[in-house]
Structure 1
C-alpha cells in the first residue's frame, strides 16, 4: 500500500505551522484600515462596471479613494517610511 506524499506531509506538520502566527495576525490588524478602504473602493468601482456612472457613483468612488489614501497615509505616518533618494 502506498501513502500519498501530501498526506504524509500533512501528518507531519506541527500545529504551530497551521494558520497565521500571532505576529502575522497583528500585522493584519494594523493594516486592516487600508484593507477595508481598498475593498470599499473596489466595491464602488465594481458597481459601475456594467453601466454609466452617475454623479452619485462618481462621488462614492472619490470618497472611497480619499479614504484609501487617508488610511495609507495614517499607516505610513504611524510606522514611518524610509527616505526615498
Structure 2
C-alpha cells in the first residue's frame, strides 16, 4: 500500500510540473505570436516607405532627364531680363 501512495505522489508531482510547463509554453507562444504580428506591421510599414521612396526617386530621375533633354537637345535656356516682353 505504501508503494501505491508513493506512486500516486510521484505521478501527481509529474502532472503538476507538466501543467506548469504547459502554461509557461502557452505564455511564451502568445508572446512570440504578438512579437511576430508587431514585426509584420513594421515590415509592412517599411515596404510602404520603400515603395514611396522608389516612386520619388523615379520622379526625380525623370525630372532630371527632362531638364537635361531641354538644355542639351532643344537648346532652350532662361531668357535674359531685357529679352522678356510683358503684354498688357
- When normalised by structure 1's length, the TM-score is 0.32
Structure whose residues are more often helix by fraction: 2
Of structures 1 and 2, the one with the larger relative CO (CA 8 A, separation 6+) is 1
Task: Work out which of the two has the higher radius of gyration on C-alpha atoms and give 1 or 2.
Answer: 2
- When normalised by structure 2's length, the TM-score is 0.31
